[in-house]
Structure 1
Amino acid sequence: MAPAAAEGGGRMNILGRLFPRSLTNAYQGSWAAVWLLAPVLIIKTMIGFNFSGLNPFISVSEVLQTVDGVPLDTFSPAAVASIISSAGAWGMALFALCLFTWLVVVRYRAGLPAAILLLLIEQVGRTGVDTVGLVAEVAATRAMPAAGAVINLGMTALLTIAFLLSLLRVKHLN
């Protein structure tokens, strides 16, 4: 009976770290998770800022064509406007999600596992099927994918590792 209780208690501890009763600055996970999260969060914040249209020096259509490999010049003007509008809406949502995550990193670190999970859900939800296809295509043709695809694959890997590390209970030295 004791091992089963300990096993269930372990699940409760992980759920407790994922969904803490209060959002304090008492982070219990591995600090390696924060170090893996930091570059991803910086990149995602910049991407969200740029795609949202808030950056006057970046053209969303140029980024879509050069980084993501979207052939906008082959679409009708209405389709291009729709694609740019959708990219802007996603960029604003991503920027807001990143600002929330920065708030958690700075002030409410007990919520880091949940914040990392939200970023991971956004990342995998947006790129999941494409990532599987990308890996299969690269394996079959050895062709280099678009820069955006490589960046997304790297961010997915870093966020996955950061999420798992954030759930580990680590004793921190005071």
Structure 2
Amino acid sequence: MLQRYKNILVPVDGSYEAELAFKKAIDVAKRNGNDTAIHLVHVVDTRAFQNISSFDTAMVEQVTDTAKKTMAGYVEDAKKDGLTNIDYAVEYGAPKVVIAKDLPKEKDIDLIMIGATGLNAVERLLIGSVTEYVTRVADCDVLVVRTDLENKPALSKAQRKAQQKKD
């Protein structure tokens, strides 16, 4: 018996890895049937603004507007690819908790598709990886996307830059 997913959460942050997770989520949703929904989320980490002495709401609004434009583009791409059941949200708070606990409970998520982290070992030690936390804490299935659409290892930043120069 094949596992069928009804509600797929895809956190997006503008990274290449998140885009790969989004593209693979479209394929999973299409294989699972028309009633499968993709829920995109961008979490604005409000902790990043706590240390700014002159906290300016315009900064948060700018981050929010950029996130909405990015996600609207993803929704448009998904609809062009034949997916109709897709929505997005901008949330505020600690990304780890929002992605691993809050949204899965709120939206009855049964699969989280998340891009592999681009952090190095020192960054993971100091700030921790959202992906690592989600895989440890989430109550639903978590698929960490590490490969491209042909299931080949995703290109590094340096490889992507070199390829862009060729194109």
Normalising by structure 1, what TM-score?
Answer: 0.33
Higher helix share: 1
Normalising by structure 2, what TM-score?
Answer: 0.34
Higher strand share: 2
Tell which structure's C-alpha radius of gyration is larger: 1
Task: Return the structure number with greater relative CO, CA threshold 8 A, min gap 6.
Answer: 1
